[in-house]
Chains A and B, each alone.
Chain A
Amino acid sequence: MSRFEAEFKGRLGNFEVDVSFTLPQTGITALFGPSGCGKTTILRCIAGLTQLEGNLVVDGKSWQDSSNFLPTHRRPIGYVFQDANLFPHLSVRRNLEYGLKRIQNTQKTKLWEEITEMLGLEALLDREPSRLSGGEKQRVAIGRALLSAPEILLMDEPLSALDRFSKMEILPYLQRLHLDLKVPIVYVSHDLQEIEQLADWMILLEKGHVIAQGSISGLLANPQLPLARLPEAAVILEGSMQDFDSKYCLSKIAVNGGSLTLSQNLGVVGSRHRLRILAREVGIAKSWQDGDASFLNVLSAIIVDIQPFGEQQATVFLRLGKQANGDALLARITRKSCDVLQLKKGDEVKALIKSVGLMGVPTVDQAG
């Protein structure tokens, strides 16, 4: 049973919000959808900053039902706003202490040391918020939220106000948060690539309704959802380091239903990695002989669906492995190739992968 169950209903602008969802115990859940679909409103409802009708149960405790509504300051949340919202009249140190002072916790010193170290805040402590860069501000805001010892961390597009450089600077911290933090994170974003880098779960929203929720890799490759119909459609694969070829500097990562080769040293055998493969970087061959072409990554797969994409192209939904029980993969090819190869559901094919993106830090596309 999930420890977090939410249900909200109400009017928002020109459409009705009517959502119900659960959250897993840990990990990052992305609230994703186009602008104005109600993502931020839902996050604010969880925080109690906006009040719609509904029910919200966290750890068996009701935060909201028909007869009671717990005000924001009584909810053990951490909220990271789009534009940091640091208190301008307090130094970084006193901003960070603001929430810490107001909680009952016996291990405040330990918490302080952990968080400031994790987010690299020591050097900023005596500065004024106005003297921080955008990325630094957001790091302080995240630290401030975490220092109030939240049971759930809510993040409202924390990167959207930042330039590319600041984003690159802060992403590693977010990824570390993801690994180190024991509390669930709800992450609102309209940037799919950001979500692909960070999230484990996704709640897909459209005009105030949940159209799907589940693991991010499952949703990205679902033929019924609009995600696979985006120009930048991609899949996320998780795998562990299997082998390193020092002669060519190639790492072999085992995923479910095959293995992928990246021309980069990814560290020790057994380490986990998240990989992203864009649909347009995948080609399809009916047959394949080793040594016929320069592709390093050629995987056996079964076609599970084919959908047209625009006038000239098609999206082919694949499952790795000969029994179609491995990870999902998307291939975007021309309709002409589709016809020439006479592709249809159930066919066994070879997926030729031009490049595999590594969703770690630094984010570099690796030619395969």
Chain B
Amino acid sequence: MWEATKLTLKLAFVTTLLLLILGTPIAWWLSRSKSFIKEIIGTLVALPLVLPPTVLGFYLLLLLSPQGNFGSWLSEVFGSPFPFSFKGLVVGSVIYSLPFVVQPIRNSFEAIGEHSLEAAASLRASPFDVFFSIALPLARPGILTGSVLGFAHTVGEFGVILMLGGNIPGETKVLSVAIYDYVESLQWEKAHVLAGGMIGFSFCVILATTLIERHWREKRS
């Protein structure tokens, strides 16, 4: 039980970190670009919102499989195949949770508007400088929301993981899968501990986020 919890938290932390590194520049570009390609990229990023996780998991399994060209190249570079491994779960989670991180960050970048950015440019700040000194700090509420949603969504993930990672204890057996297993084998007590724990955890996370955002808002006005 503890093993599954540890693995889930590890997966969620790694995924959230990667999502922030990857999602923030994508969100910035989506909020600033005027090109048509932006709509296509934006749609691709949003796809996991509507696709059944099994569909996503199925295609990821095919893509990452060492039988394919891309998959065999990947497993050569990383030393072992991706499906049925922690690495594979990370890839799946990142793609699956991407819209939950990109969308709030993009919204808060868009809410900054041109004004502050133009003022910064007129004060000799290069675009790179503007991004770090103005855009990132002003988008803080969106980044917080994005991180929390990405983290929580990864913790609760089930379908993609089952398709891509199976059920290997300590490697791919995360909380949601463990709960499913306990219920299947009629160990309701254990299922209760995990499921109840998840409810408590989610409640705390969302409450904490709301309070932090409220604190920031009050500080600014």
Contacts and interface: CB of A to CB of B under 8 A. Distances in A.
Contact of B123 (A71, A74, A88, A148): A148
A49 B124 contact: no
Nearest to A150: B122
Interface residues on A, range: 20 to 34
Interface stretch (A4-12, A77-85, A257-265, A266-274): A77-85
A251 B21 CA distance: 70
Contacts of A89: 137-138, 140, 220
Interface residues of B, number: 22
Contacts of A74: 124
Contacts of A103: 124
Interface string B197-221: 0000000000000000000000111
Interface string A220-234: 000000000000000
Given A89-B138, A103-B124, A128 B119 contact: no
* Secondary structure of the B contact surface, majority rule: helix
Nearest to A44: B118
Interface in B115-163: 115-116, 118-127, 129-130, 133-134, 137-138, 140
A49 B121 contact: yes
B220 A88 contact: yes
Given A88-B220, A89-B137, A72 B121 contact: yes
Interface string A199-223: 0000000000000000000000000
A49 B123 contact: no
A87 B124 contact: no
A99 B118 contact: no
A145 B138 contact: no
Contacts of B219: 128
B123 A128 contact: no
Given A72-B118, A81-B115, A102 B123 contact: yes
Interface string A142-176: 00110010000000000000000000000000000
Interface string A29-57: 00000000000000000010100000000
A150 to B, nearest CB: 9
Given A87-B134, A89-B138, A89-B220, A73 B125 contact: yes
Which of B116, B123, B129, B137 is the most central at the interface, judged by chain A CB atoms within 10 Å of its CB? B123
A130 interface: yes
Given A87-B134, A88-B138, A102 B125 contact: yes
A112 interface: no
Contacts of A72: 118, 121-122
A216 B118 CA distance: 31
A98 interface: yes
Contacts of B123: 73, 98-99, 102, 144-145, 148
Contacts of A78: 122
B119 A81 contact: yes
A145 B118 CA distance: 12
A100 to B, nearest CB: 9
Nearest to B123: A99
A148 B120 CA distance: 11
A98 B120 contact: yes
Contacts of B119: 79, 81, 85-87
A73 B133 CA distance: 14
Nearest to B124: A102
Contacts of B118: 49, 72, 79, 81, 85
Contacts of A73: 121-127, 129-130
Contact of B122 (A47, A87, A128, A130): A47
A99 B115 CA distance: 16
A255 to B, nearest CB: 39
Interface in B168-221: 219-221
A325 B121 CA distance: 48
B219 to A, nearest CB: 8
A148 B118 CA distance: 14
29 contacts: A49-B118, A72-B118, A73-B121, A73-B122, A73-B125, A74-B124, A79-B118, A79-B122, A81-B118, A85-B116, A85-B118, A85-B119, A86-B119, A87-B116, A88-B116, A88-B138, A89-B138, A89-B220, A98-B120, A98-B125, A98-B133, A99-B123, A102-B123, A102-B124, A102-B125, A130-B221, A144-B123, A145-B122, A148-B123
Which 4 residue pairs spanning A and B have beta carbons closest together? A99-B123, A79-B122, A102-B124, A72-B121
Given A49-B122, A81-B118, 13 more contacts: A47-B122, A49-B121, A72-B118, A73-B121, A73-B126, A73-B127, A73-B129, A81-B115, A85-B118, A87-B119, A87-B120, A145-B122, A148-B122
